[in-house]
């Protein structure tokens, strides 16, 4: 690992100022993605700006038809939140299935979303629950946020403050986890907004994406039977030692049906 300067920001303005002054600096949230990347020599930031002391970046609250979650809120806090469990049970369930207990008590919502890890769970929630990503500069709609593998619409030095999820009529999440890492080989979040349905997939492609054919079928009839037999193209899906693109395409359909069943209770 390369040497770096560690700094602990005390406010969002403090963190933004350092990132502006040092273009090779990186913000440190939970470190679940950044630190392993540094250990492998794939990232060598000049400075690490620890965000953990910024209280304004934590917390969960209901705001009308949205649940707003601070960027530094831990996965375990989302999973245990009575507010989240009441408004979007699928989101609490998703958070409770991330990694293991150590990861859930260290990893953060903002860090997961900002990295756009292709196998992370939260991107499916952001996209499937029609979220807005709130940064220190602007609001970015979920459909414009994820651009590719480890690529997002965030500009250099731009920090996520919070993510606001739109409360659905009902929603469900199902994933097929890698048995060692618990990352999603394929994870699908289905959300019914009483007139429109969103289906978001993680783990299968370069980044989280929606499936219009499944959304259209579920918009007409919200049942697992309605999407039986709908095939997802494997042409742009991942192939690795854990599974082929064709296998992942098959899993998208299986997980989508399980997500619908979970939404229906």
Residue 135 shares a structural domain with residue 166: yes
Instruction: Give me the domain span that covers residue 22.
Output: 5-47
Residue 23 shares a structural domain with residue 65: no
What's the Cα-to-Cα distance from 210 to each of 141, 184, 252, rounded to whole Å? 14, 16, 11
Residue 214 shares a structural domain with residue 182: yes
Does residue 185 sit within a domain? yes
- Which residues of the chain register pLDDT less than 50? none
Residue 79 shares a structural domain with residue 34: no
Does residue 52 sit within a domain? no
Residue 99: how many other CB atoms lie within 10 Å: 18
Residues, the chain: 265
What is the percent of the chain where pLDDT is above 90? 93
CATH of residue 114:
3.30.465.10
Residue 65 shares a structural domain with residue 138: yes
- How many folded domains does the chain comprise? 2
CATH of residue 25:
3.30.43
pLDDT of the residue at 181: 85
pLDDT of the residue at 1: 75
Does residue 85 sit within a domain? yes
Q: Do the beta carbons of residue 189 and residue 171 sit within 8 Å? A: yes
Distance CA 77, CA 195 (A): 31
Residue 12 shares a structural domain with residue 100: no
Strand extents, DSSP E, the chain:
5-8, 26-28, 47-50, 60-63, 66-70, 132-135, 139-141, 146-148, 151-152, 160-166, 170-177, 184-192, 197-202, 209-210
Does residue 223 sit within a domain? yes
Residue 233 shares a structural domain with residue 104: yes
Distance CA 224, CA 216 (A): 13
Residue 37 shares a structural domain with residue 106: no
Residue 35 shares a structural domain with residue 99: no
Residue 96 shares a structural domain with residue 205: yes
Does residue 251 sit within a domain? yes
Residue 153 shares a structural domain with residue 124: yes
Closest CA to 69 of 94, 43, 97, 36: 94
Q: Each residue of 135-150: pLDDT tens digit?
A: 999 999 999 999 999 9
Distance CA 207, CA 149 (A): 5
What's the Cα-to-Cα distance from 82 to each of 49, 56, 66, 86, 104, rounded to whole Å? 31, 20, 15, 6, 17
Does residue 128 sit within a domain? yes
Residue 10 shares a structural domain with residue 69: no
- What one-character DSSP code corresponds to residue 9? -
């Amino acid at each position: 690992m390369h040497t770096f300067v560690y700094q602990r920001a005390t406010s969002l303005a403090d963190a933004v100022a350092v990132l502006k002054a040092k273009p090779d600096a990186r913000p440190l949230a939970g470190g679940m993605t950044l630190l392993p990347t540094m250990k492998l020599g794939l990232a060598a930031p000049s400075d690490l700006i620890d965000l953990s002391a910024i209280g304004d970046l934590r917390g969960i609250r209901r705001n009308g038809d949205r649940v707003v979650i601070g960027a530094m809120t831990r996965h375990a806090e989302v999973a245990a939140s009575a507010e989240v469990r009441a408004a979007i049970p699928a989101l609490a369930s998703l958070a409770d299935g991330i990694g293991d207990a150590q990861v859930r008590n260290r990893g953060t919502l903002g860090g997961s979303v900002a990295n756009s890890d292709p196998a992370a769970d939260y991107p499916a929630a952001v996209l499937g629950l029609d979220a807005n990503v709130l940064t220190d500069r602007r609001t970015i709609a979920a459909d414009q946020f994820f651009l590719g593998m480890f690529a997002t619409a965030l500009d250099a030095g731009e920090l996520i403050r919070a993510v606001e999820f739109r409360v659905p009529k009902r929603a469900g999440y199902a994933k097929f986890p890698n048995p060692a890492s618990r990352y999603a080989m394929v994870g699908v979040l289905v959300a019914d907004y009483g007139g429109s349905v969103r289906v978001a997939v993680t783990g299968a492609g370069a980044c989280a994406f929606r499936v219009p054919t499944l959304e259209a079928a579920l918009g007409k009839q919200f049942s697992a039977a309605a999407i039986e037999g709908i095939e997802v193209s494997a042409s742009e899906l991942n192939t690795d030692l854990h599974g082929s693109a064709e296998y992942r395409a098959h899993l998208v359909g299986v997980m989508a049906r399980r997500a619908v069943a979970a939404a229906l209770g």
